[in-house]
Chain A
């Protein structure tokens, strides 16, 4: 149980385009989901907290207009990187919260050319 999926697992896009990443809790409902970013050889950094039916809460230094988060249902949160640039290339991982435990998705590798 407690499986979280992400789609796509890998995406390559041109600079200036937008990319949407989906995070789904497959066998449980998650009121709260989280989005993290991991640069090469760095640890995971929390970007934002996504709550179903309300606006996301962004960490300091994360541009909310660039990283759009939608949590329209209890099993799905999406992260849209708008007008992506090469510096946005990173590994994006989501997690979903259930019973005070976070379950992580497999991650999405974004490469912006």
Chain B
């Protein structure tokens, strides 16, 4: 059974710092990996989707990498801003659109002004 672990569980950094969030998964036979943002009491905002054949994806200040063989992904946030404060969730998919995603517990990020 796939298990997804995110480290750290919580992180608080001053504004402007670059930071890295980590995600690991136990079964490397994944179809894709996705990073989401969740604000308190809200739904999910998809940030980046990496297919299993890809190594990384970039969107603005965000960069996500994937090392499928070692079961790891990282989300890099450059020049952090207070508006980046949220919970970041990592999720892996195993069967394309036919299977549900397995989520990690998330990293609660606070960017101090």
Contacts and interface: CB of A to CB of B under 8 A. Distances in A.
Given A45-B103, A100-B93, 12 more contacts: A6-B43, A32-B98, A42-B105, A43-B89, A43-B103, A44-B101, A44-B103, A46-B102, A49-B98, A101-B32, A101-B49, A104-B46
Interface stretch (A12-20, A67-75, A78-86, A91-99): A91-99
Contacts of A98: 97
Interface of A: 6, 32, 34, 36, 42-46, 49, 59, 91, 93, 95, 97-107, 109
A43 B89 CA distance: 8
Contacts of B103: 36, 43-45
Given A44-B89, A106-B42, A36 B31 contact: no
A10 B20 CA distance: 34
A49 B99 contact: yes
A28 to B, nearest CB: 12
Contacts of A34: 100-101
A42 B108 CA distance: 11
B96 interface: yes
Nearest to B90: A43
A100 to B, nearest CB: 4
A54 B94 CA distance: 22
B97 A101 contact: yes
